[in-house]
Structure 1
Amino acid sequence: MNADFHRILTLLRKEKGVSQKQVAASLGISQALLSHYEKGIRECGLEFVVKVADYYGVSCDYLLGRSPDRAGLTLSVEDIPDSDEPGKQNIMQHGSIMPVLNKKLITNSLHIVFDMLAKGGNASLTKEVSSYIMVAVYKMFRKLYGLTPKNQSTMFSVSKVRYSQLCDAAMHESVADIDCLDQNVDLGDMRPLEDRDDFELTTQSLAENYPLFYSSLQNLISNVEDTLGKDSGKK
């Protein structure tokens, strides 16, 4: 069975807010067997996969980790909505389709990130998340800019020798500040997180609230976790 199956099986049950006992009864198996399936200790048959898919209202491909979309859709670059302003053509020259695809995945995912920040209404959190993303973009732009010695270094005020490490330090500081906000650590002028309900999410609510952008986020998550390496068997 696909390594993603037990993780997704557990995720769907927890998002639905039901116990293993309830799900097992609905699916006609024992709670112990369902527990083994969720932990990846035992493998199930195709009939059970179909039952689970029907029970949670998702596709078998989603359950098996073959598609990041709950309905099992596979996306081409043309399927991903373009967040550029209406009427503006998104033209990429001198390259493969990959830059266009990744641009859409990143841009559309950022729509969700910044909408979450807007709903959360915490200026300090917004500042730190924005700072992290801007520094990351700045660093990658400078890496590309520096690939040829013909480009003038005078475009930047921070030296070539220092900028990369300073970017890393700035991003680490933003993450540290976000962790402090999360733990309500007093940082002077930083506003603590008060209401966290706006950050409560499920795959179902994401799909409903962001029908145009959610598939991009799911594909981005899948791509990044393929790069990072999935924690098989961990929760």
Structure 2
Amino acid sequence: MNSDFPRILTLLRKERGISQKQAAAELNISQALLSHYEKGIRECGLDFVVRTADFYGVSCDYLLGRSPERTGATLSVDDLPESDTAADNRLSRGSILPVLNKKLIVNSLTITFDLLQKLDQNAVTTEVSNYLMLSVYHMFRMLYRINPKNESNLFTIPQNISSQMTTAQMIQCEARLRSMIENTENKKEYKFDHEKLSISTESLQQNYAQLTSSLLNLIKNSEGLLK
């Protein structure tokens, strides 16, 4: 059994709000055996995996850590939703600051990823994407910590080292990207068509009329933080 199974097994039980004794009774095993499964001390059989998946209403792939989706679905680009209208409406009824900052960031990211698509360099896209995903992961995890009752089993990396590991990996992403852009160590491997990324405020306005003001404001706000 893989290392994700004990973590997810524990997470599902705690999310359901039941004790080990209750879960064990429902799953027709002893509490001691369930404790061993949750701690990763013993491995279970396939029949227990199926029974547990049915009990918690998830797929076996989710239970085994093979899919982040409870249904076990593997997402394609077409499956990914656009902006959550319901969430946008909730934000608009509250403080204006989250609404404003979300629009600045989302619109700026739209421009960023369109430029990446024009550049058409998978290695560059990977490093930029990984850096941004790690940043969001890090901030989400900080917010998750605010409520001490939130289950730590949602994450595989322990809290006491996640911040350092995230920062280190973001630094590596930036270093690899810098190496590609500066064309030093990888002079032969990476040859960019510079004209594809010929950028000016005028070209931004022409190509992204509705989004450019968000990007320019994000740049202004960010540089204000650096002064």
TM interval, short-chain normalised: 0.5 to 0.7
AA aligned to 1:225 is E
2:193 is equivalent to residue 213 of structure 1: no
In structure 1, list runs of 5 or more residues that go unmatched.
1-83, 230-235
Where 1:166 maps in the other structure, the secondary structure is helix
Corresponding residue SS for 1:162:
helix
Kindly report which structure 2 residues correspond to 1:1-235, keeping only aligned pairs within 5 A, or say none: 85=82, 88-89=85-86, 90-93=88-91, 95-186=94-185, 191-229=189-227
Distance 1:167 1:85 in 2: 27
Instruction: Name the aligned partner's letter for residue 177 of structure 2.
Output: I
Query: Separation in 2 of the partners of 1:175 and 1:224?
Result: 18
| Ranges in structure 2 where 5+ consecutive residues have no aligned partner | 1-80
Q: CA deviation at 1:184?
A: 2.0
| TM score, norm. by length of structure 1 | 0.57
TM-score by length of 2: 0.59
The amino acid of 1:130's aligned partner reads S
Q: CA contact under 8 A between 2:130 and 2:173: conserved in structure 1? A: yes
Match of 2:103, as an amino acid? K
Partner of 1:48: none
For residue 91 of structure 1, report the CA deviation from its aligned partner. Answer: 2.0
Alignment-mate amino acid for residue 85 of structure 2: K
More helix by share: 2
Change (3 A) 1:85 1:156: closer
Q: Deviations over 1:121-147 (max 9, x none)?
A: 010000000000000000000000011
Do the aligned partners of residues 191 and 200 (structure 1) sit closer, same or farther apart at CA in structure 2, a change above 3 Å counting? Answer: same
| Cα distance in 2 for residues equivalent to 1:187 and 1:134 | 25
Once the 2 structures are TM-superposed, how far is the Cα of residue 212 of structure 1 from its aligned partner? Answer: 1.0
Q: Find the aligned partners of 1:86 and 1:133 in 2 and give their Cα distance.
A: 18
Q: Secondary structure at the match of 2:89?
A: coil
**1:108–1:216 CA contact under 8 A, matched in 2:** yes
Residues 111 and 211, structure 2, Cα contact 8 Å, conserved in 1 = yes
Root mean square deviation of aligned Cα: 2.3
